[in-house]
Structure 1
Amino acid sequence: MSNNSSSYESDLENSIVLNVNLDALKKSASNVFQVQCTSIQEFNEGGFHKVYILKMEDGKEYIGRLAISVNPQWKTESEVAVMEYIRLNTHIPVPK
């Protein structure tokens, strides 16, 4: 990555604040998994995502990754390319 890209990403990361409605996230997780989400713990944050651990009443844990929509088309194209690379070069199952 060039210095310009790294500088841009660093500036972007420092300038964007992602406010998350954790109650809405709990409700959505409960609806999706059909079991009560009992807690949400912030796990990590990067320039384009916030990542949470969602703990469910049945003891299962899920990862919730929320994206900052800086440029949604570029983000989606990039994620598809990464999944295709993983599918072609590893044995890790990924959606097609």
Structure 2
Amino acid sequence: MPSTEHLARQTREVPIEWSGIEDLTTSFATNVVITHTESEFFITFFELVPPMLVGASASVDEIKSVRAKAVARVAVPAGRMEGFVQAMQENLQRYQEKVKERGERHGE
């Protein structure tokens, strides 16, 4: 029988089965607020819908504020945040490269 020390040193990668995606509601986020503690980051997404200005009496000058509704909050362990940011930066870069490529093909 293997020793406890030997078992503790054995490691292997176990694949992740991503589930539950089809059950999620997709929310539109136009704003984000990020706060942190010593051990985690809190990322709160908001949707801001501009007010409807209808009729002659509607005036932009009368608007004192607009409401941004929180649509999701995600807590990320501090140790994972750098990897999350890197993944977002890589995806943004790929997106920008595709947009630029499409623009060049369409003569923009």
TM range (shorter): 0.3 to 0.5
* More helix, by proportion: 1
Using structure 2 for the length normalisation, give the TM-score: 0.31
Point out which structure has higher relative CO (alpha carbons under 8 A, 6+ apart): 2
